[in-house]
Amino acid sequence: MQPDPLGLRRLTTTETLEPHWPPLGFLPVRAAAHSAGAAIDWAWFGPEPLTEPFFEGDLRRALRRPFNRMIRWRMALVDFCAEAPRPPDTLAPQGFIFHMSRCGSTLVAQMLARSPRHIVVSEAAPIDFAVQTGNPDILRAMVLAFGRRRSGREQRLFVKLDSWHALALPLFARAFPGTPWLFLYRDPLEVMVSQQREPGAQMVPQLVASSVFGLAPMTPGPDYTARVLARICAAAADALVSPHGLAVNYRDLPGAFERLILPHFGFTPDAAERALMRDALGVDAKSPTLPFAPDSAAKRAAASDRLRALAERHLADSVRQLDSIATAQAGRRPSTLL
Mean pLDDT of 142-146: 97
Q: Per-residue confidence at 4, pLDDT binned at 50, 70, 90?
A: low
- Give the pLDDT of residue 322: 97
- Give the pLDDT of residue 338: 37
- Give the pLDDT of residue 6: 57
- Give the pLDDT of residue 331: 77
Q: Is the pLDDT of residue 323 over 50?
A: yes
Which sign, positive or negative, has the C-alpha torsion 282, 287, 289, 295?
Answer: negative
- Give the pLDDT of residue 336: 41
Q: Is the pLDDT of residue 80 over 60?
A: yes
Q: Is the pLDDT of residue 9 over 60?
A: no
**More confident site: 87 or 261:** 261
Q: Is the pLDDT of residue 49 over 70?
A: yes
DSSP string across 141-185:
HHHHHHTB-SSS---EEEEEPPGGGGGGHHHHHHHSTT--EEEEE
CB 316 within 8 Å of CB 307: no
Q: Is the pLDDT of residue 96 over 90?
A: yes
- Give the pLDDT of residue 15: 66
pLDDT tens for each residue of 244-270: 999 999 999 999 998 999 999 999 999
In CATH, 89-332 is 2.60.120.380 = no
246 bridge partner residues: 182
Q: What percent of the chain has pLDDT over 70?
A: 93
72: left (phi over 0), alpha (psi -120 to 50) or beta: beta
Q: Is the pLDDT of residue 287 over 50?
A: yes
96 bridge partner residues: 159, 181
Q: Is the pLDDT of residue 117 over 60?
A: yes
Mean pLDDT of 84-103: 92
Mean pLDDT of 179-190: 97
- Give the pLDDT of residue 235: 97
Average pLDDT, the chain: 91
Mean pLDDT of 48-63: 95
